[in-house]
Amino acid sequence: MPSQPQKHLDPVPNPHPDREYEVEIECPEFTAICPVTGQPDFGTITFKYVPGPYICELKSLKLYIWSFRDEGHFHEDITNRMLKDFVEQIKPRKLSVTGKFNVRGGIYTTVRAEYAQEK
């Protein structure tokens, strides 16, 4: 049975919870629909995070990214929604989500949203 898109990210226990280290994940095949024109939008989503108790299982992230493909979202909404979901489900110490969206009408858009756990 083929995989299906999903809105859930699977947390995996952090193998080094005593150490602060950075993980960078680049997803260069992001697609969604422009909510105004209905045309496809393409971009690269980059997650940079310092794990807390969990790391993100990558297949679940792939299926999560896929879940946006047929939905209409503004670039700002996509980036902030991904930050919110990742924080809620993976519980990182720090997280930066950057959406670098391909040219549309001669305009590139880059949106960055950040989170830092309160000490």
Q: Which residue in this structure is represented by tokens 């150490």?
A: 19
Q: Which helix (H) or strand (E) holds 61?
A: helix 58-66
10 is catalytic: no
- DSSP for 28-43 reads EEEEEE-TTT--EEEE
41 is catalytic: yes
Q: Out of 41, 56, 70, 85, which one is annotated catalytic? A: 41
Q: Out of 10, 34, 77, 85, which one is annotated catalytic? A: 34
List Cα–Cα distances, 79 to 12, 20, 65, in angstroms: 23, 24, 11
By C-alpha distance, which of 70, 85, 80, 79 is closest to 34? 70
Active centre residues (catalytic): 34, 41
